[in-house]
Amino acid sequence: MSTFHIIDGNIATPKGFKATGIYSGIKKVEKHDLGLILSEVPAEAAGVYTTNLFQAAPLVVTKESIEKQGKLQAIIVNSGNANACTGDRGIEDARAMQRGVAEAFAVSPEFVGVASTGVIGEFLPMDKVSSGMKQLPPVLSEESGPLFSQAILTTDLVEKTLCVELELDGQKVTIAGTAKGSGMIHPNMATMLGFIVTDAKVEQAYLQEALRKATDETFNMITVDGDTSTNDMVVVMANGMAGNSALNSEHVQADDFYQALAYVMKELAKKIARDGEGATKLLEVEVKGSPSEEIARQVAKTVISSNLVKTAIYGADANWGRILCAVGYSGAAIQPQLVDVFLGEIQVVKASFPVPFSEEEARDYLLQENVKVVIDLHDGEAAATAWGCDLTYDYIKINASYRS
């Protein structure tokens, strides 16, 4: 039974947080491109990062701060320029962003996280960034959180935000998250930035543990196009201002907090998958009856990543052979003679052989905005779910001219 509930809110809703976003001139079009989250007090912080070996300068700087201090008080984010593959100058520019926020808001530079997203291989226009940071203090508030969510977008079509509330130790606790991501999205983090803040008091070690576990179940189970970027990170800040006793793995309500955190992350992940570049549908692949969760994840990820599956979903073609084929090349140790496949409630494969079904009913189902594929391995009790989207002509149009 859920111990939390969704509320209207934004990234600045939890107690002690403010946020905003402005247009600084980094982007060629006049859209918000510089955003800030600020906590009244230093917050326990945790982060997970892209597995790409080419890690962007802001990621390097943020990771260093969290690993050394275990705390953040602010996060500055720009869109329109990734500050990736920019060498020593890129690192210095990221540190200059730390110093700029520190000076503007009287916080320690090492308590400032930095994130960037956009075109790779171009230097940040630091004159515009510096000027923009000076504009942030007067417009920072608890009400301007949605402007932050706008400022982190690139090819995204919609903002992605969620806020939940629960009670811990008799105190009201709020968890809010916002994310960006539309292209270069693949399991193990992709061109995706996620920011989650909470007024719960959480021990840093447990916060990192919870974030890592929830990431494996959520953000690492989505794909849009199979590309893993240089800049992806998810950062959580917990400032403790709700007044609950510190959460750790032994706390009686630790699982209540974890379930709420994981829910926020799952819903943000699904929003990213649905907003895939050119996408028309959200695709969900559930694998059950697996001998282990690891195998279930491996199969689900493989199917959700298959371009042939994704194009069939776009064309509303009940081509179950592509699904079964992806299961087979997933590399997972499955029993190939036992697999069932369903499109929604419509069974198309039983014990790895086709069964009669109405092509018309299947097509009608696949024409819906939300499509679910269920794969039953009949070889255990474990399960996992992955999310993605269809692959359309518009994806090529968007990415053929991204730099222009």
Name the pairing type of β-strands 193-198 and 353-354.
Answer: unpaired
Q: Are residues 266 and 297 in the same domain?
A: no
Q: How far is it, in rounded angstroms, from Cα 240 to Cα 202? A: 7
Tokens matching residue 302: 């493989």
Q: Are residues 328 and 240 in the same domain?
A: no
Domains in the chain: how many in total?
2
Show the DSSP H helices in 55-203 as ranges: 57-69, 87-105, 126-139, 145-151
Q: Are residues 42 and 167 in the same domain?
A: yes
Q: Are residues 195 and 293 in the same domain?
A: no
CA distances to 94, 120, 124, 403 from 91, in Å: 5, 14, 11, 22
Are 22 and 132 spatial neighbours (Cβ–Cβ below 8 Å)? yes
Q: Are residues 112 and 169 in the same domain?
A: yes
Residue-level pLDDT at 183 = 46
Residue ranges for the chain with pLDDT beneath 50: 183-190, 225, 404
Q: What is the pLDDT of residues 345-355, one digit of tens each?
A: 999 999 999 99
296 closest CA partner among 213, 377, 219: 377
181 closest CA partner among 254, 113, 273, 114: 273
Q: How far is it, in rounded angstroms, from Cα 192 to Cα 185? A: 7
Q: Are residues 316 and 264 in the same domain?
A: no
Q: What is the CA radius of gyration of the chain?
A: 22
Q: What is the CATH number of the domain that holds 387?
A: 3.10.20.340
Sign of torsion over alpha carbons 269, 270, 273, 275 = negative
Residue-level pLDDT at 277 = 65
Last residue of a domain, one of 255, 274, 293: 274
Are 389 and 310 spatial neighbours (Cβ–Cβ below 8 Å)? yes
Q: What angle do helix axes 307-314 and 320-329 make, rounded to 10 degrees?
A: 160
Q: What is the DSSP letter of 191?
A: S
Last residue of a domain, one of 221, 244, 274: 274
Q: What is the CATH number of the domain that holds 99?
A: 3.60.70.12
Q: What is the DSSP letter of 277?
A: T
Q: Are residues 63 and 109 in the same domain?
A: yes
Count the Cβ atoms, other than its own, within 10 Å of residue 145: 26
Are 199 and 12 spatial neighbours (Cβ–Cβ below 8 Å)? no
Query: Measured in whole angstroms, how far is the alpha carbon of residue 81 from the centre of its chain?
Result: 19
Residue-level pLDDT at 159 = 84
Residue-level pLDDT at 188 = 47
Residue-level pLDDT at 182 = 57
Residue-level pLDDT at 404 = 46
Q: Are residues 27 and 65 in the same domain?
A: yes
Q: Which residues are catalytic?
A: 191
Residue-level pLDDT at 185 = 45
b/e for 86-106, b at 16 or more Cβ within 10 A?
beeebbebbbbbbebbbebbe
Q: How far is it, in rounded angstroms, from Cα 79 to Cα 128? A: 12
Last residue of a domain, one of 243, 274, 305: 274
Residue-level pLDDT at 276 = 63
Could you tell me the residue range of the domain that residue 390 belongs to?
Answer: 282-400
Sign of torsion over alpha carbons 110, 111, 112, 114 = positive
Residue-level pLDDT at 53 = 79
Q: Are residues 287 and 270 in the same domain?
A: no
Q: Are residues 19 and 143 in the same domain?
A: yes
Q: Are residues 255 and 202 in the same domain?
A: yes
Q: Are residues 102 and 244 in the same domain?
A: yes
